[in-house]
Structure 1
Amino acid sequence: MTSTGAGISAIALEFPTHVRRNDFWERNHPELVANKDNGTYLRVVASSDGTETDNAFDIERRPYLSDTFRGARERRVIAAEETAIDLEQRALQGLCRARGIDPAELDAVMVHSWLPDTLGPQNAAHLTARLGLRVPAWNFESACNSVMVGLQTAAALVRAGDYERIALITSITSSRNVDPSSTLSWFLGDGCGALLIERCPTGRGIISSKVIGTQETCGVAEFLMEVDEMEDDDHIRTPRIRMRMENTAAGRIMRDSAEQQLTTCVRGALDKAGYTIDDVDFLVVNTPVAWFAAFCARALGVDPEKTVSTFGTYANIGPVLTTANLFEAASTGRIKAGDVVVLFGIGSVSTAGAAVVVWGDDVALGPHPVSG
């Protein structure tokens, strides 16, 4: 078999139309804002625990500590009647339109839904059935790092010749799992990202990857089945999956582990590809907090102008973050054909991973999401 590479040939994003800005809590939950220091978000995720150091994470976080919402300004939130599959379907269709293909021309579809619409069989088969597809479609999961694990898997399958064209879909609908009266809702948004992985010339596309486990983060969050306190119009109390973050060590664990996870993955991927950090033209990372891109640049010794962050616009959209930041960099011309691009993602209770990509000259982009 002739040696071939695997690369990203198209990117698309899909978001709900409803935008929830910071004044939502100022108007509807003023007591929450007034007592913010007792809230879960600031107490657990994005605050200083009084042991500030001169490491890269603390340095880049410091300017945000005076901001009540820690850099978040807007979040996209699905309507009550919307589902994750709705977002995934629109993203997949947008991806195919951008590439100029029919969905029937896909060879496989990989789907990560955080969280899926149904228990048991998850979204992949349901999503492709909506489009009348009979291609292999399967679900996978590595929390907020799912897109990096998905890229590694899809690229390997394409290089091996098992498939020529794989759609990689990641979605998040966390607003369904966090009550707006919790400060956790301040930093969570909904959305969907789609990537198309296809054959490309050797030496272009996804050159190498490095993925590690993040077992040290076990216990930072829980997802529990709970019953709403309020009855609906039919006097039914609805059970829902709720996200809880009560581990007060979560912020410290993120701070203390992030730099080692970052450098291990990025330098490992660069070594495999035969590059050094000086060869990197652009760095795209997921941004679970507002300062994460700046932190990564500082820790790696990369010019911060070679990074991008969409946290202020979308907040933490988990597994969609890396795709959203990559789309932003590509759509604004900050990544050009032939550039060496490093992608990095990190997930709690899952994995962290990096990939080295030599950017192609014909990567198709869906329409830029319209700001609400």
Structure 2
Amino acid sequence: MRKLLLPFSFIFRVIVLIRNIFYKLNIIKSTKLNAAVISVGNISVGGTGKTPLVEYIAKKLLNKGKFIAIVTKGYKRIHDDIQVAEFNYKDEEHKLTSEHFGDESLNLLENLSGTSSGRGLLVVSDDKRSGAKLADRKFKPDVIIIDDAFQHRKLRRDLDIVVLNHNYKGNMLPAGNLREPVRSLKRADIIIINHKFEETIIKKVKFLNVAECKYVLDSYRDYNNNQPESAINNCTAFCGIGDHVSFHNMLEVNNIEVKHFIKYSDHYNYRAADISAIIKGFKESESDYILTTQKDFVKLKYTDYKSQDFKVINDFIENYPVYYAKIFVEFTKNENILDYRISELLNE
């Protein structure tokens, strides 16, 4: 059916190519910031694993004692104003909500808080250039990391990183999933192939600086950050991410029987009716646990307490055996390329 959209994909491809030429010829200018800028992006829609890479790079910089700012769009959040939160912020007034920050932003904030060295802050802005300029002018960080910024060429970057998975080829939008032609990869400084939880076979990328990584399951955690008392053998699972198949595969690889699986659209805003459907599937399938991703869990955990759905959602994550999979990124090939480019960026 998507083949009918090929003429529109051709038009989109031409528009993207012309735009890139204008940037290359400096007809359209990029803004240069005082801080060093690292962009982490991709060339396709869907979950390639950009945000876990942002977290990985942020931890490297924090461990070096750097002051960093992460700028992200906060996809599917309800409010569109600029939000700023420091790492380790104590949310005593319940200002951190998924409605204001978005799920991936809060995921980053949770995982990067508690770092003993370095300083960091999170800036959520629909306009990434505005968010980055605010961070640069007002807070003066050493490094600004822009999440999902390969196409966001309004900002000049000092290190351009592109994350790929096995779906990085095909047609341009809307007939396919590509946001840019594959040839645009020549613009990247580093390409990182993310295998996630499986050994994917990817046709050789004709590029000099290519590294590879995968996801590793750390543990399952609940609302109080506790691990389950017994091994998880079966579950009802749900997720609202770009690549729900990878989450399902992760559960199977770890020998968990998925008795019931519910998939939602990426960055899904859960409502009381959705929670009722998950609980119904959990009970009818006679599962022992309910599992989800950390991105989905923070979406639920940080639901605005003023929301009409808050009571149902809060009761669900506090009183049912709901756990999220905490994962981390592990490099399997050429991590030294990334280390070298970061050291070069910092003049080490």
Shorter-chain-normalised TM-score: which range? 0.3 to 0.5
- TM-score (norm. length: structure 1): 0.31
- TM-score (norm. length: structure 2): 0.32
Q: Which has the higher contact order (CA 8 A, sep 6+)?
A: 1
